[in-house]
Amino acid sequence: MSKEVSEIGETARRDYVDPPPAPLLDMAELKLWSFYRALIAEFVATLLFLYVTVATVIGYKKETDPCGGVGILGIAWAFGGMIFILVYCTAGISGGHINPAVTFGLFLARKVSLIRALGYMVAQSLGAICGVGLVKLFMKSYYNSLGGGANSVAPGYNNGTALGAEIIGTFVLVYTVFSATDPKRSARDSHVPVLAPLPIGFAVFMVHLATIPITGTGINPARSFGAAVIYNNEKFGMTIGSFGLDHLWEL
């Protein structure tokens, strides 16, 4: 009896409610329109993300003036800004993952079911391929000659260093996602309003500043995968094995 009373008191003192863990296999989701709407949102968001960011990279590389173009700072802003915009737009539909590493982390935390996680990853990968495909369609001459926005290990760094940089960068991003969406934070710090897409976008921006000189910055397996598939170069295809799809297991 005393245990029940103490549990009731604890619940009364808490001003937040932990959502129940997602089931491992929720086949009922396959019958819901909201599930397919979320897949479409993830596909479109990742397509737009890759289109804008890779186009920004190609546009910067084609500049012959060393002081022209957006520079590394502008590229980082493009990635961070697009994440901010797209997470804000899709958070209410799909949760705004736009990244298989984020989806996998949320799956491990039982925030999404296995069915939804796999569906999101497929949608994100297809969206990334289509987004980079649009860049190649619109900027074909520059795209082929300037690396296609694909990730690679920069001269002076080895694969181990690149992998370490990507692991740390992915951790920063996923840690920020969990922190920004924590229901306890919303309840405890209600006097400090937090717009979740903002810190997530800033995390992407800061990680890009640090790792663009090393790998071009992946931290998103769909981003690395889509660019490598469309560029279709053996060197860059091998890069995925180094620090692209491995992100799914870093978490």
What pLDDT is recorded for position 247?
Answer: 41
Other beta carbons within 10 Å of 138: 12
Interatomic CA distance for residues 111 and 95, integer angstroms: 10
Q: Domain 27-231, what fold?
A: Glycerol uptake facilitator protein (1.20.1080)
What pLDDT is recorded for position 13?
Answer: 54
Inter-helix orientation angle 71-90/197-215, to 10°: 140
2: Cβ–Cβ under 8 A, 6 or more apart, which residues? none
What pLDDT is recorded for position 250?
Answer: 39
What pLDDT is recorded for position 194?
Answer: 63
**What pLDDT tens digit does each residue of the chain (251 aa) get?**
455 445 444 544 556 677 777 788 878 888 889 999 999 999 999 999 999 999 999 988 887 776 777 888 999 999 999 999 999 999 999 999 999 999 999 999 999 999 999 999 999 999 999 999 999 999 888 888 888 888 899 999 999 999 999 999 999 999 999 998 887 776 666 555 568 899 999 999 999 999 999 999 999 999 999 999 998 865 554 444 434 444 433 33
What pLDDT is recorded for position 76?
Answer: 95
CB 42 within 8 A of CB 90: yes
Backbone angles phi, psi at 99, to 5 degrees: -165, 120
